[in-house]
Amino acid sequence: MNEGETDRRVVDGRFELESRLGGGGMGTVWRARDLLLHRYVAVKEVRPPDIDLAEYDPGAAEMLRQRVLREARALARVEHPNVVTIHHIVDGGEGTYPWLVMELVQGGSLADRLGQGPMAPAEAARLGCGVLDALRAAHEAGVQHRDVKPANVLLRTDGRPVLTDFGIAAIRDATALTATGSIIGTPDYMAPERVSGHSGGPAADLWSLAMMLYVAVEGHHPLRRGTTLATLAAVLQEEVPPPVRAGSLMPVLSCVLVRDPEARPDAGTVARMLAAAAAQPPAHGPGTTSYPLAPPVPPPLQTTDDMQAVPRRGRKPKRSPGVAVASSVVGVLLVGTLAWKVLPGGNDGNKGSAASSPGATGQTQQTSPSATSSGTSTKTTNLLTPNGIRTAIKAIEKETGRDSFGGITVYPDYVSADVMVKGSRTEYDNYTYRADDGVEKGIIQSTLGSGYEPVDVRDFQWDTVPALFTRAEKELKVKNPTFRYLVVQLPWKTFNTPAYMSVYLSDSYGTSGYLSATPRGKVTKVVPANG
């Protein structure tokens, strides 16, 4: 049978195969017509490389059948517009191979798109947002994909991504279908912990997503070698070389492509970083961005006399100008790494920049008016000031008509805020404020993680922020900080953790530290650069 043609076979008396869409070592995907509902669908035919497998190794054949059934069940558990929809399964029972009937996504795959050339960072970030939304929905349903790669990301005709091929997905409490000693997944995109023999959790899917985005913007895979074994060894042992075209995606890649899964930011943080990357204008050259690159935001962590301590694991900051791939797994406090650092406008990190002025107290002049206590206007370029923060929040509240937030991150030149949807305590939209451009709505629309609650920013005393940065300068042991930012952390009812804020300092080599404080400015945690 020639590729693209069929003998018009009809599966299950209903699905007429029309043309071959693609395939691999484990089967073929067909374009088919549903004769009952008069619509086109995709039909996945499972076909092992050895068609006689069922005769001489019935156990392996049955394992393959069960894996396909598991894919169907995994897909059925995840209802999301960025996850391919399964319509039907045809299973003839033991000794046969099932067929999966799914929605037909007609825009080709990401692999097809990348065959035409690399993507711009903002374009790749937008695609990454969609794929991450699909992964978050899967993880929420207890499903890990375990094979995120360009061939498994389909594109609708409007460019929206759809995650497919959950054939090796691990479902919580039902993960015993991988053969001992076998490699399940694609080595190029497999997380180090999975290569080393561990099943891996949701963080492994985040690694695969970040590696896919690296390939999307760079046009090549940084760790692919001539053989599978060599590629696996590279994933385990070699550092990921710094990209030259990643632009606004650098923060995401630097934070996620680290060997220690506990050191990677959570999906919510990655979503915010991708949204920020997607909103950035085109860079002015390879490897440049229009804003400073930030280390990841840690999960909630407080220890103080009047607050319950929340045990969390993380990592010590890495000192690497490239993607910091750790040589060992460590269980220390989560502190973000700033990698591939590029300051805006070619700034080399000299002390004169607004981002590096001591204490971030806003002594320089501003590009847009900011209200002061006397009712007059001043001008500063730095939003990391009490007036800068108030101005940004006021502008966002006025634009959206909402005053409840799912998180706020303040950088020297812009503010990223997750603003709660009216009437909901879980759903939010992402907005960005810049002094020059005002408030812009981002592409992220998502929900808070389990146990988290919206934060009321009226409880925060922003006048304490300069003192917090002054203390950070003294105690975080970052000798020549070139970047700083502030994060408003959500209340976490699971551990009765109240809202708080954290301030961060980093240098050009990825050395970073942070301190946390109550909304009234009382310091509750200090994590210096030496951990």
Tens-place pLDDT, residues 350-380: 333 333 333 333 333 334 333 333 334 444 4
Higher pLDDT, 446 or 500: 500
pLDDT of the residue at 326: 30
The confidence band for 75, taking pLDDT boundaries of 50, 70 and 90, is confident
Share of the chain above pLDDT 90, in %: 28
How far, in Å, are 125, 181, 274, 422 from residue 280 at the CA level? 10, 44, 10, 27
Other CB atoms within a 10 A radius of the CB of residue 141 amount to: 16
Query: Catalytic one among 133, 147, 418, 507?
Result: 147
Domain ranges of the chain: 10-103, 110-344, 351-527
Nearest to 460 by CA among 390, 355, 363: 390
pLDDT of 320 strictly over 60 = no
Pick the CATH number of 110-344 from 1.10.10.10, 1.10.510.10, 3.40.50.720, 1.10.132.10: 1.10.510.10
pLDDT value at residue 40: 94
At residue 257, the 3 state secondary structure works out as coil
pLDDT at position 153: 94
In Å, what is the CA distance from 443 to each residue of 82, 352, 372, 500? 14, 34, 32, 26
Known catalytic residue at 147: yes
Please give the model's pTM, rounded to 2 decimal places: 0.54
What is the model's pLDDT at position 365?
Answer: 34
Architecture of domain 10-103: 2-Layer Sandwich (3.30)
SS3 state at 512: strand
What's the rounded mean pLDDT across residues 408-413? 88
